[in-house]
C-alpha cells in the first residue's frame, strides 16, 4: 500500500555536511573568519602542547616495547584534542578518555601522571584537584553520565559560570551510556560539551558498522541540541568550535542550545593499543592518505608561514619537550607500587578468591622475582 501523502518528516541526509576547517591539509588558511582569536604566544603554546603530547606518546610506546610499562592506547594523529582543552577556562571541567590524554597535558597535568598510569601505578589516577580533570576511564562511555551529572550538580549549586567537556570515541556512541548522558543533558539543560573523537575505528570495527548515520554530529538533534562536524586533525578549527560550544554552554543566545555535540572527524595513525596490529584491518594506502593530514605538521606550517615559529624556537621546543619527558619517566619509574595493592584496593576486604590470587602471585614472585608479573595484557 502507498500512502496518499508523505508522512515521514525527518529524513536522514545522504551526505555528511561540509566539515568545519580553518587549515587545509597543507597548513594554509582556508577560512579567515574562523581563525582563532589567539595571541602569537598562545598559538605557539598550543603547538608546544601538541609536541609534548606526541613525545609522551612515542615514549609510552617505546617503554611498553622495552617491558618497562604496560599496554597503552597511542594518540598518534589525534593531538588536536589539545585544542579543546586549550579553549577551556580554569573553572571548566575536563572529562577525558584514554586516547585524548593530550587534553589532560594541555590542562597542565604533569606528564609523569601518564607514565604512572600506563605503568599501572595508582598515583596515575590521583590527579591534582585544581586541574578540574577527571581520571581516565577504561570502560567505554561510562564517563559520559558522569559528565552530564557534573553538569547537573553545577546547576543545583548555582555554578553557572562553568562548562563540562567530555571526550569519547566513535565506538562509545553505541553504548547505552552515551544515549543516557546526552538524553539527560538535553532534558535537564546541563552545561555540557560532548566531543566525539571519531577516528573511524573501534579497535578493528569500522565506523560503517558503528552507525547508520551519515555523521555522529547529527545525533545531537535527537537530544534537542546542536551538533557540529569539524576536521578533527585541524587544531585551529577544533579550537574555534570548542570555544563557541563553551560560550553557548555558559550563556546561550536566544535559540541556541546550551549543549553541543562536536564530532572531530579524524584518524588514529597508530594502532588501537600496543597489543594491536592495525595492518590486519586497514590498508597501507588508507594510512598514507591520512598521514598527509598530520595535525602537528599542519599547525607547524601555519606558524612558520605566518612568522610565529622559526627554526630556533622549533629546536627549543623539541629540547624542552624531550627534557620534560625524560624527567617524567624517571619520576614515574622511581615510584614504587606494591603489586599487593591491586588485590587490596578492589573491595573493602579481600575476597577469598582475591586472597588466593594474591598468594599465588606472592609465591611466583618468591620464585622468579618481579619477572613474575611482567606480563603483557590487552584492552
Ligand X SMILES: Cc1ncc(C[n+]2csc(CCOP(=O)(O)OP(=O)(O)O)c2C)c(N)n1
Our finding on whether 172 is near ligand X (CB under 6 A) is: yes
CA angle (146 as vertex; 264, 248 as ends), nearest 5:
50
* Residue with Cβ nearer ligand X (128 or 139): 139
Tell me the closest approach of the beta carbon of residue 92 to ligand X, in angstroms: 22
Q: CA 345 → CA 113, 340, 349, 364, distances in Å? A: 19, 9, 8, 21
Beta 260-265 vs 226-231: how paired, if at all? parallel
Comparing C-alpha atoms, which of 56, 45, 18 is closest to residue 34? 18
* Residue with Cβ nearer ligand X (358 or 379): 379
Our finding on whether 169 is near ligand X (CB under 6 A) is: yes
* Count of residues engaged in binding ligand X, rule: CB under 6 A: 14
Within 65-104, which residues bind ligand X (CB under 6 A)?
99
Q: Which of 48, 188, 358, 379 binds ligand X (CB under 6 A)?
A: 379
Our finding on whether 140 is near ligand X (CB under 6 A) is: yes
Q: Give the list of residues 6+ apart from residue 267 with CB closer than 8 angstroms, or none.
A: 77, 199, 200, 233, 290, 293
Q: Give the list of residues 6+ apart from residue 49 with CB closer than 8 angstroms, or none.
A: 82, 85, 86, 102, 105, 106
Q: Which of 138, 279, 341, 355 binds ligand X (CB under 6 A)?
A: 138
Tell me the closest approach of the beta carbon of residue 184 to ligand X, in angstroms: 18
Task: Report the residue closest to ligand X, judged by CB.
Answer: 169
* Residue with Cβ nearer ligand X (202 or 303): 202
Within 203-222, which residues bind ligand X (CB under 6 A)?
203
Tell me the closest approach of the beta carbon of residue 83 to ligand X, in angstroms: 17
- The set of catalytic residues is 268, 272, 281
Residue 136 carries which DSSP code?
P
Segment contacting ligand X by CB under 6 A, of 112-120, 151-159, 165-173, 295-303: 165-173
* Residue with Cβ nearer ligand X (99 or 162): 99
Question: What character string, x for contact with ligand X (CB under 6 A) and - otherwise, covers 317-346?
Answer: ------------------------------
CA angle (137 as vertex; 325, 333 as ends), nearest 5:
30
Q: Give the H or E element holding residue 261.
A: strand 260-265
Question: What character string, x for contact with ligand X (CB under 6 A) and - otherwise, covers 258-297?
Answer: --------------x-------------------------
**Across the strands, what pairs with 133?**
94
Our finding on whether 199 is near ligand X (CB under 6 A) is: yes
* Residue with Cβ nearer ligand X (207 or 332): 207
- Phi, psi torsion values for 82, nearest 5 degrees: -60, -30
Residue 135 carries which DSSP code?
P
**Across the strands, what pairs with 93?**
164
CA angle (297 as vertex; 76, 137 as ends), nearest 5:
25
Our finding on whether 170 is near ligand X (CB under 6 A) is: yes
Cell of residue 5, nine digits: 501523502
Cell of residue 201, nine digits: 575505528
Segment contacting ligand X by CB under 6 A, of 50-58, 138-146, 219-227, 241-249: 138-146
Tell me the closest approach of the beta carbon of residue 23 to ligand X, in angstroms: 23
Integer Cα distance of 27 and 58 in angstroms:
23
Binding site for ligand X (CB under 6 A): 99, 138-140, 169-172, 199, 201-203, 272, 379
Amino acid at each position: 500500500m502507498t500512502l496518499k501523502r508523505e508522512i515521514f518528516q525527518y529524513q536522514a541526509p545522504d551526505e555528511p555536511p561540509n566539515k568545519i576547517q580553518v587549515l587545509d591539509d597543507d597548513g594554509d588558511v582556508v577560512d579567515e573568519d574562523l581563525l582563532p582569536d589567539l595571541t602569537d604566544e598562545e598559538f605557539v603554546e598550543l603547538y608546544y602542547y601538541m609536541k609534548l603530547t606526541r613525545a609522551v606518546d612515542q615514549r609510552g610506546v617505546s617503554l611498553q616495547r622495552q617491558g618497562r610499562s604496560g599496554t597503552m592506547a597511542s594518540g598518534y594523529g589525534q593531538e588536536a584534542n589539545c585544542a579543546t582543552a586549550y579553549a577551556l577556562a580554569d573553572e571548566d571541567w575536563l572529562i577525558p578518555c584514554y586516547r585524548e590524554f593530550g587534553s589532560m597535558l594541555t590542562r597542565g597535568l604533569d606528564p609523569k601522571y601518564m607514565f604512572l598510569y600506563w605503568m599501572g601505578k595508582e598515583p596515575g589516577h590521583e590527579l591534582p584537584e585544581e586541574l578540574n580533570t577527571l581520571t581516565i576511564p577504561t570502560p567505554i562511555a561510562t564517563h559520559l553520565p558522569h559528565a552530564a551529572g557534573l553538569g547537573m550538580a553545577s546547576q543545583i549549586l548555582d555554578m553557572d559560570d562553568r562548562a563540562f567537556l567530555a571526550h569519547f570515541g566513535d565506538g562509545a556512541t553505541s553504548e547505552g551510556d552515551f544515549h543516557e548522558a546526552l538524553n539527560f543533558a538535553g532534558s535537564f539543560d546541563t552545561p555540557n560539551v560532548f566531543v566525539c573523537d571519531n577516528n573511524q575505528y573501534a579497535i578493528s570495527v569500522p565506523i560503517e558498522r558503528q552507525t547508520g548515520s551519515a555523521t555522529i554530529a547529527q545525533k545531537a538533534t535527537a537530544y534537542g541540541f546542536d551538533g557540529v562536524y569539524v576536521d578533527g586533525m585541524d587544531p585551529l578549527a577544533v579550537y574555534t568550535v570548542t570555544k563557541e560550544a563553551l560560550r553557548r554552554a555558559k550563556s546561550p543566545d536566544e535559540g541556541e542550545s546550551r549543549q553541543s555535540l562536536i564530532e572531530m572527524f579524524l584518524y588514529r595513525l597508530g594502532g588501537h593499543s600496543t597489543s594491536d596490529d592495525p595492518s590486519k584491518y586497514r590498508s597501507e594506502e588508507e594510512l598514507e592518505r591520512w598521514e598527509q593530514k598530520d595535525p602537528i605538521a599542519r599547525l607547524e606550517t601555519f606558524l612558520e608561514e605566518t612568522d610565529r615559529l622559526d627554526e630556533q624556537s622549533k629546536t627549543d621546543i623539541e629540547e624542552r619537550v624531550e627534557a620534560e619527558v625524560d624527567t617524567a619517566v624517571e619520576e614515574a619509574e622511581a615510584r614504587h607500587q606494591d603489586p599487593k595493592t591491586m588485590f587490596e584496593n578492589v573491595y573493602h576486604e579481600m575476597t577469598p578468591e582475591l586472597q588466593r590470587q594474591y598468594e599465588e602471585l606472592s609465591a611466583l614472585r618468591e620464585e622468579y622475582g618481579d619477572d613474575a608479573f611482567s606480563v603483557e595484557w590487552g584492552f
